[in-house]
Structure 1
Amino acid sequence: MALRINDTVPNFTAETDQGTIQFHDFIGDNWTIMFSHPKDFTPVCTTEFGAVAQLADEWAKRDTKVIGISVDSAEDHVKWKGDIESFAGTKAGFPIIADSGLEVAKLFDMLPSEAYLPDNRTPADSATVRSVFIIGPDKKLKLSMTYPMTIGRNFAEVLRALDALQLTYNVPLAAPANWQVGQDVIVATALNDADAEAKYGTLDKKLPYLRFAKAPS
């Protein structure tokens, strides 16, 4: 069954390059980003892991944990991190899940249940393990996106989406197209004009159902 927005994400126990984790315990009360890869020592993925490592301070500002997953062994992950850190010029302090048995990839519906890794496999055998999952502190899936192997993920967009998710979490607000931090937000139609203005101040009413307000600080 496909994992959908607002589903509770699967809990699992897995080995990482930093030891054993239990996923819900790892999340704790934090926002969490899990990003997946079809094989270690691949060029695009190395640039992506490097980008995540370079954003360590940004994740920390947002009280967000990051964790990678690749369908190779923890031992390979340790070796690969040397390449990642050399390329990125910084430490990759986050763990990487070892998913050589594809258990986690299947739990998160990145591969069909009958998938397996053949001998002498290539990244094409697990090409769909190229997703980003943003998970809330309630352990529910808030956003997912999947990229092909030839397109490096845009982690500026991941940060933007995370900022929007955190701003609108459990409040009657939404982020419009191309929203950036500091820009106005949309007030949900669940609030009438009077209640919306009492809560968020003067509204900029574009349409009866499209009302903007200053983003809460």
Structure 2
Amino acid sequence: MSDIEALPCPPRLGEPAPDFEIETTQGILRLEDFRGSWLVLFSHPADFTPVCATEIIAFAGARETLRASGCELLGLSVDSIFSHIAWVRSLESRFSVTVDFPLGADTTGMVARRYGMRMPAESPNEPSRVTFVIDDRQIVRAHLAYPMTTGRNVDEIVRLVAALQTTDARGVATPAGWKPGEAVLVPPPRTKAMAEERVKAGGPGCPDWYFCKKETA
């Protein structure tokens, strides 16, 4: 069996996140340590590389916004804990940022394998740029993957977390490009009678029975 065939499938949306235990720049952490909080778990190929540096800097800039929404960050790569410590110190010194979220040393690749973060056709050993959004019940809610040559959009990840939390809190959906504070989409009617009632109610936010927006405020 080839390496590609042997790799596990990543957890699907709506499934429990695979458990893990990993040494990080903030000590040993387990998935269970994040229960009750949302978690953005992301992999990067290697320390002391330019694209990865831009991502860690971007995550550092988004840290407070995510924390305010009850969401934690955890990054990982196959580099050692000593490499992570040295790299974080370098980033903080050279780029005037504070990296106050943990970076995990997945030296055996166990976490990357459980989460399907390795892409052998791209690199036989290093994980690609894969992101999982895990909710406060430790259910996988979103999964994004970028190639090694392309830094991920951290603003989009922040937006994604906000959209998922709005869905949970209000029982609504969010339209393309939605940002916090903008109108959301109400669930479409499930019966013909409900569709007729929606049409009669009308309004500028409801151009047709299946498409209605409402303000979040």
TM-score interval (norm. to shorter): 0.7 to 0.9
Q: Give me the TM-score of the superposition, normalised by structure 2.
A: 0.84
After superposition, the CA RMSD in angstroms is 2.3
Secondary structure of 2:163's aligned partner: helix
- Hey, what does 2:206 align to over in structure 1? 205
- 1:57 match: 64
In the TM superposition, what are the counterparts of 1:12-51 in structure 2 within 5 Å?
12-25=20-33, 27-51=34-58
SS of equivalent to 1:162: helix
- Structure 1: which 4+ aligned runs deviate by more than 6 Å? 193-196
Question: Counterpart in 2 of 1:154?
Answer: 153
Question: After superposition, what is the alpha-carbon deviation per residue over 1:55-111, rounded to whole angstroms, capped at 9, x for unaligned?
Answer: 222122111111111111111110111122134312101111111100000000123
Q: In the alignment, is the contact (CA less than 8 A) between 1:127 and 1:148 conserved in 2?
A: no
Letter in 1 for 2:167: T
Q: What is aligned with 2:4?
A: none
CA distance in 2, matches of 1:86, 1:150: 25
Quick one: which of 93, 96, 101 aligns to 2:103?
96
- Note if contact 1:12-1:22 (Cα within 8 Å) is conserved in structure 2: yes
Q: CA deviation at 1:206?
A: 2.3
Percentage of matched positions with identical amino acids: 31
Is structure 2 residue 14 aligned with structure 1 residue 6?
A: yes
- 2:185 corresponds to which residue? 186
User: Aligned residue pairs: how many?
Assistant: 201
Distance change in 2, residues 1:91/1:214 (3 Å): same
Match of 2:164 in 1: 165
| Alpha-carbon contact 1:51-1:88 (below 8 Å) kept | no
User: Which runs of 5 or more residues in structure 2 are unaligned?
Assistant: 1-8
Secondary structure in 1 aligned to 2:87?
helix
Q: Is residue 93 of structure 2 the alignment partner of residue 86 of structure 1? A: yes
SS of 1:41 mapped into structure 2:
coil
Q: Determine the C-alpha separation between the residues in 1 that align with 2:125 and 2:215.
A: 44
The answer (yes or no) to whether the contact 2:196–2:209 under 8 Å persists in 1 is no
Judging changes above 3 Å, is the alpha-carbon distance between structure 1 residues 195 and 130 closer, same or farther for their aligned structure 2 residues? farther
CA distance in 1, matches of 2:12, 2:94: 35
Conserved 8 A contact 1:134-1:142: yes
**Does structure 2 retain, via aligned residues, the 8 Å contact 1:127–1:149?**
no
The runs of 5 or more residues in structure 1 that have no matched partner are: 116-122, 197-201
